Amino acid sequence: MSWQETFELVRPELGLVEQQFRTEMASGVPAVTAIGQYLQISGGKRLRPALVLLATKLFGNASKAAIHLAAVVEMIHTATLVHDDVIDEADRRRGRPSTNSRWGNHTSVLAGDWLYMQAFKTALQERNFRILDILIELTQMMVEGELIQLEMIGKLDLTVEQHLDLVHRKTACLFGACTRLGAVLNGQDQQTERLLGEYGRNLGMAFQLVDDLLDFTASEAALGKPVGSDLREGKATLSLIYLLEGCTAEEQAKVATVMEERSFQSVPWEDLLEILHRYEIPRRVKEQARLYSQNALQYLESFPDSLYKRALTALPDFVVNRSS
């Protein structure tokens, strides 16, 4: 099943999610509404809402609650992007000026906070404590991930294990929450929720590893932001950790210079890219992402065959092989 066919299965529901997202972003404060509309127009893959809907439809139709919660996870995801851009001092997001570059840091932080609260307000309407448990656990873990990442900025001695834990906290836990919500919405037992959660978590790990790799290998047009942003921000992703484990002292010094200067002024971007490819770092990162995608598939094996299971089965391959 192709990426397009997968999303076609939930296209009508995703349209309703967009409407819900737009409704929830309306505020009596003009700045909040303006930022909300700007973020919605900026778009995105809407992969997280699609995961909620596909996981829900494994067991039946997508109810109004599924539409609401699909919008909730997109609001939470959007809030994290707004805060991340402020912390990273990012200028662009998805090919457009970031919210902080348009409205300033103070307004953007408060708009992100408002988004979080609005997401929980919407979720609370379901009157389901299990849903709130999942969302509270999720947001705590994501905030912890951001704090851990701040402590790691500029460090070159990070281990693979430390980085993978960060990926889990910042990205994979949200993917896992999306698929867990699908099980909860249809009253499935804890074992089913666990299996779907592990599927989502592994999918999220693969997604973020490839996302970090694309920061090195994709074009600026495909990324919607400057290439090498992670390195300029002092973030050592898996590509860099792998490289530093095996490169020469001279090559390590080049990486350290970029991390210290937060620019490619002394060390050209092309030099670092050449070193990465010479050590076959993209291949190694792709292999690790592929392992997570294969792990994700194992957690779907016990579910009966259906169009929605096939769609979930197709997603890991797309995630690993995407180019943007």
Nearest to 215 by CA among 205, 202, 229: 229
DSSP tally for the chain: helices H, then strands E: 18, 2
Spatial separation of the C-alpha atoms in residues 152 and 143, rounded to whole Å: 14
Spatial separation of the C-alpha atoms in residues 131 and 121, rounded to whole Å: 12
Crossing angle of helices 47-57 and 173-185, rounded to 10° = 30
CB 116 within 8 A of CB 93: no
pLDDT at 88: 81
CB 99 within 8 A of CB 39: yes
* 3-321 fold: Farnesyl Diphosphate Synthase (1.10.600)
Q: What is the largest CA-CA distance in the chain?
A: 59
pLDDT at 29: 86
pLDDT at 267: 93
Residue type, 171: T
Residues forming beta bridges with residue 97, ordered by sequence position? 92
Positions of the chain with pLDDT under 70: 43
Spatial separation of the C-alpha atoms in residues 195 and 280, rounded to whole Å: 34
294 CB-contact burial (10 Å; exposed 0-12 / middle 13-18 / buried 19+): middle
pLDDT at 2: 85
Q: Whole-prediction pTM value?
A: 0.94
Give the burial string for 42-67 (b: 16+ CB within 10 Å, else e). Answer: bebebbbbbbbbbbbbbbeebeebbb
Determine the length of the chain: 324
pLDDT at 288: 98
pLDDT at 41: 82
27 CB-contact burial (10 Å; exposed 0-12 / middle 13-18 / buried 19+): middle
285 CB-contact burial (10 Å; exposed 0-12 / middle 13-18 / buried 19+): buried
